[in-house]
Chains A and B, each alone.
Chain A
């Protein structure tokens, strides 16, 4: 990945949902190999901020700028967004799901097996998603981070439904991603133990 000089800067960002101002005047910047952990009470706008970064939510005011990425592509096209919903189809098999993401999200050669093994799903490859437990679905959803390499990971409570072993696996993957020059913005209640991760507390009216 040529992401060494990637940097994301957010200036004076505001978000309005249903006529309510969720946050305003939010500014921060994030360089390559850096992680930002969003914290704050419910309704502070963690999910909204992630969706704004992914281009899934309109920016009411302010701007989000990415430099050093692919100028032909939007931020959303260079980012993974893992939200509360798993975006899985019960009647598709695990491996079909990965293969669909790889061809749809613009694939760089890397076998579906790598992604499945990274999340410990290899033995479930042929099973329909309908048979998976909540934690397995979550892991499959996260497998997309590995299946399709993209420099920016936007994770909204990625550890929900995961057991301790899976959380450790996810943290290892996140560290690996940062090691390769990637960038992570994650909203989480759990201390993931990412060394040097910066914190952004929303809802306190202060942006760090």
Chain B
């Protein structure tokens, strides 16, 4: 019985891996996903900007956190998606996981950049400077580089199958390396850390702040998924165009 279930689950898994099925399914999913994410982000923004108290220490500046923290979360989430999809692509070799990894990269990079940007905007009133080399910001910056390297590798190798394998290896090596990099950066930072720098991870978060933070986190994650689907669909179509063109070149060979 259990075996039967597993087989059918595996079959379903492969059914979704079929690009045609994926196109049909994602087409149906996209509209509700967009609606839901915009709704939740909208509500989150309302609470974040108008219906939550200012921080007793940071004042109104704390509202940047409602974008910054979810963006930082999605920066890591995006890389995890990339790493998991790359692993799946290497092991199962079905094309959708490669597409998923490739499509996740620019979105993850965008959120990473957003995290850096909001961190910098927050740092100006807090630290009196646009940029401080603290452990978090530095780690996120290096994560941004990992994203850029991954995107550059995809862009450089023309043959899609080869690019997918190379990029998957890079993503996995990156995923293994991230904790090591993170650890080294923290270690480096404690060497130089001036005690006066304000730490943004306060001991507790007031409940009134938790609600907008949670809403923004969920809403932006939904947005991430919606964007991911859009990009994957675009990628499937791009490959179709590529195949059509290759076929065109081949068919005109005798003419």
Direct contact of A and B (CB under 8 A): yes
A residues near B, CB below 8 A? 90, 120-121, 123-124, 127-128, 130-133, 135-136, 165
Residue of A whose beta carbon sits closest to that of B251: A123
**A135-B248 Cα distance, complex, nearest whole Å:** 15
- A124 and B246 contact, CB distance less than 8 A: no
A-B residue pairs in contact (CB < 8 Å), sample of 7 = A90-B158, A120-B255, A123-B248, A124-B249, A130-B158, A131-B245, A132-B249
Is there a chain A Cβ closer than 8 Å to B252's Cβ? yes
Closest to A133 in B: B253
CB neighbors of A among B3-23 (8 A) = none
Are A131 and B253 within 8 A (Cβ)? no
Residues of A within 8 A of B2 (CB): none
> How many residue pairs, one in A and one in B, have C-beta atoms under 8 Å apart?
27
Using Cβ atoms and an 8 Å threshold, which residues of chain B touch A130? Answer: 158
Residues of B201-255 whose CB lies within 8 A of A: 245-246, 248-250, 252-255
Determine the distance from Cα of A132 to Cα of B248 in the docked complex, in whole angstroms: 10
In contact, B253 and A123 (Cβ under 8 angstroms): no
A95–B227 Cα distance when bound, in Å, is: 35
Chain B interfacial positions (CB closer than 8 Å to A): 158, 245-246, 248-250, 252-255
Q: Decide if A133 touches B249 in the complex (CB within 8 Å).
A: yes
Give the CA-CA distance A136 to B248 in the complex, in Å.
Answer: 12
Are A123 and B255 within 8 A (Cβ)?
A: yes
Do the beta carbons of A133 and B255 come within 8 Å of each other? no
Closest to A128 in B: B245
Residues in B with CB closer than 8 Å to A127 are 245, 248-249
A10 smallest CB distance to B (angstroms): 39
In the complex, the answer to whether B158 meets A124 with C-beta atoms within 8 Å is no
B246/A123 in contact, CB under 8 A? no
Alpha-carbon gap, A127 to B254, bound state (A)? 16
A133 touches B250 (CB 8 A): yes
Rounded to whole Å, the gap between the CB of B219 and the closest CB of chain A is 39
- The docked-state distance in angstroms from the alpha carbon of A199 to that of B245 is 42
